[in-house]
Amino acid sequence: MYDSIVIGAGIAGAVAARTLAEEAGKKVLVIERRNHIGGNCYDAFDQNGILIHEYGPHIFHTNMEEVFSFLSRFTEWYLFGHEVVAKVGDKLIPVPFNLNTLQMVYEKKKADRLAEKLIAEYGEGSRVPIMKLRENEDPDIREIAQFVYENIFLKYTMKQWGQKPEEISPEVTGRVPVLISHDNRYFQDRYQGVPKDGFTPMFERMLDHENIEVRLSTDCSDVLRFSDQGVFFEGERFEGDVIYTGPIDELFECRFGRLPYRSLNFVFEHFDRESYQGHSVVNYTVSEEFTRITEFKYLTGQQDTDGTTIVKEYPFAYTGAEGEIPYYAILNEENQALYEKYQALAAGIKRFYLLGRLAEYKYYNMDAMAKKAMELARSLKK
Ligand SMILES: Cc1cc2nc3c(=O)[nH]c(=O)nc-3n(C[C@H](O)[C@H](O)[C@H](O)COP(=O)(O)OP(=O)(O)OC[C@H]3O[C@@H](n4cnc5c(N)ncnc54)[C@H](O)[C@@H]3O)c2cc1C
């Protein structure tokens, strides 16, 4: 009845299913345990008629023409240069830290002098990790690095990852950039924005194909059994390809222990007023227990509404309890070794493929995920 089975209807599963159905003519069954498609990119209207992102704000951004044109078959876009500000003291300053931020945190004469120094040292348009700035001999440049470290990086990272300052690896610190430019955009990608009528309709169109059947509210363990003898679907041996985008540890009853993740508690609030913060995303980098507030109407461009809905994000350690969602894989050697034990078990199942952030225990942006899904599906076309 089916040539291939895809578990999970997030961007990994949906792109893989469409590619298999369309380019290889395969009959594909998509199994999704939630009662909706879209995975964590899912959006929907709240009770006040405001389009919200239920699993955290998502902005699509890419330089990959192939991915952008593939997704553009299923949606028009509301494209914009995504900007983020950080609340530091009583100011909202652009992040990543750039030459405009410099003008906001120092008085003009000093800011002009520092900007000249940064341009002379690193060149206009460059992107310098703060670790590199901190190594500079010039005390002015070190002062900027120290400001960024203390006011933009440290507390935010501690909240996000639940770490103490001494536990934060210098590698992570080193990646925080300072932009030697007046570009306030958070991403520098060519295309950035959101689907004009939302992510969920984009997924609906992607999965709307005569060769694709979607079963919602179905956990793969309801219909599938995996063993070294192969895959059994509804009690019978299944000979086709199976792509799994769910958590790899759950597939094997977490027999070696759970893979650690950070989770997030999303607290939504609605206000009967035009605007709450006037920005799509405000990061709280020195105060508060939440990491950021997103005001959806500034992200989605929605205008047919008087009120406004926001979401606050509170990070916490994922325990696997009912209702918790694993969001960010915690990448270190120990966890990677644990992942590889599960990966070795999966490798023993014939025609079984791991794909996606949960199955690969890895952070992916949407565009990279879509690309990887297309590549895997194309490799299975024969
Ligand atoms: C807070 C947050 C914000 C983000 N913002 C951005 C952003 O702005 N831009 C960007 O490019 N990326 C962003 N990302 C990353 C983006 O969410 C991922 O790239 C994307 O969700 C990965 O898709 P996926 O299909 O691998 O996983 P998911 O979206 O998690 O989909 C997996 C699906 O599999 C289903 N599933 C799991 N187990 C089973 C099972 N046993 N049986 C049946 N179904 C199952 C799940 O219910 C889920 O629907 C963000 C991530 C987070 C956490």
pLDDT, tens only, 76-86: 999 999 999 99
113 has pLDDT over 80 = yes
Residues 199 and 291 in one domain: no
Residues 88 and 166 in one domain: yes
Residues 217 and 347 in one domain: yes
Q: CB within 6 Å of ligand 1 — which residues?
A: 7-13, 31-34, 39-41, 56, 58-60, 219-220, 245-247, 264, 327, 356-358, 364-367, 369
Task: Provide the domain count of the chain.
Answer: 3
Domain-embedded: residue 103: yes
Instruction: Indicate which residue's Cα is closest to atom 38 of ligand 1.
Output: 246
Which of 40, 244, 292 to mutate for ligand 1's pocket (most ligand atoms within 8 Å of CB)? 40
Q: Tell me: the pLDDT tens digits for 216-233?
A: 999 999 999 998 788 999
Would you say 313 and 264 are in contact if contact means Cβ atoms under 8 Å apart? yes
Would you say 353 and 49 are in contact if contact means Cβ atoms under 8 Å apart? no
Residues 154 and 208 in one domain: no
Instruction: Indicate which residue's Cα is closest to atom 14 of ligand 1.
Output: 365
Q: Tell me: the pLDDT tens digits for 295-352?
A: 999 999 999 998 999 999 999 999 999 999 999 999 889 999 999 999 999 999 999 9
The domain that contains 210 carries what CATH number?
3.40.50.720
Q: How far is the CA of 11 from the centre of ligand 1 (A)?
A: 7
Instruction: Indicate which residue's Cα is closest to atom 37 of ligand 1.
Output: 246
Rounded Cα distance between 179 and 29, Å, is 46
pLDDT attached to residue 2 = 97
Closest ligand 1 atom to residue 14 Cα is 25
Q: Tell me: the pLDDT tens digits for 127-171?
A: 999 888 988 999 999 999 999 999 999 999 999 999 887 787 777
Question: What does each C-alpha distance from 329 to 56, 208, 362 come to in angstroms?
Answer: 16, 31, 6
Would you say 349 and 230 are in contact if contact means Cβ atoms under 8 Å apart? yes
Residues 76 and 89 in one domain: no
Domain-embedded: residue 249: yes
pLDDT attached to residue 168 = 77
pLDDT attached to residue 297 = 97
Question: What is the band of 173 on the pLDDT scale with cuts at 50, 70, 90?
Answer: confident
Rounded Cα distance between 112 and 145, Å, is 16
290 has pLDDT over 80 = yes
Domain-embedded: residue 324: no
Closest ligand 1 atom to residue 313 Cα is 1
Answer with the one of 179, 214, 232 that is the final residue of a domain.
179
Closest ligand 1 atom to residue 250 Cα is 41
Domain-embedded: residue 46: yes
**Element holding 118 (H helix, E strand):** helix 108-122
pLDDT attached to residue 382 = 66
> How buried is 305 (Cβ within 10 angstroms: 0-12 exposed, 13-18 middle, 19+ buried)?
middle
21 has pLDDT over 90 = yes
Q: How far is the CA of 143 from the centre of ligand 1 (A)?
A: 39
Residues 340 and 228 in one domain: yes
Answer with the one of 147, 179, 211 that is the final residue of a domain.
179
Residues 91 and 73 in one domain: no
Domain-embedded: residue 125: yes
Helix axis angle for 108-122 and 139-148, nearest 10°, is 100
Q: How far is the CA of 332 from the centre of ligand 1 (A)?
A: 21
What is the mean pLDDT of the segment spanning 24-46? 98
Q: How far from chain centre, in Å, is Cα 123?
A: 31
Q: Tell me: the pLDDT tens digits for 115-132?
A: 999 999 999 999 999 888
3-state SS class at 85: strand
Answer with the one of 269, 284, 317 that is the final residue of a domain.
317
Q: Half-sphere exposure of residue 252, counting CA atoms within 13 Å on the CB side?
A: 22
pLDDT attached to residue 134 = 87
Domain-embedded: residue 131: yes
Q: How far is the CA of 309 from the centre of ligand 1 (A)?
A: 22
User: Is the model more confident about 172 or about 112?
Assistant: 112
Which of 242, 245, 267, 367 to mutate for ligand 1's pocket (most ligand atoms within 8 Å of CB)? 245
pTM above 0.85, yes or no: yes
Phi, psi of 325 (to 5 degrees): -120, 130
Domain-embedded: residue 358: yes
Residues 38 and 147 in one domain: no
Residues 274 and 238 in one domain: no
Instruction: Indicate which residue's Cα is closest to atom 33 of ligand 1.
Output: 8
Rounded Cα distance between 285 and 151, Å, is 6
Question: What is the band of 88 on the pLDDT scale with cuts at 50, 70, 90?
Answer: very high
Residues 357 and 248 in one domain: yes
Residues 292 and 235 in one domain: no
DSSP β-ladder status, 51-53 and 43-45: antiparallel
Give the other-Cβ count within 10 Å of 339's Cβ.
Answer: 20
Residues 98 and 10 in one domain: no
Domain-embedded: residue 186: no
Q: How far is the CA of 181 from the centre of ligand 1 (A)?
A: 33
Q: Which domain holds residue 272?
A: 261-317
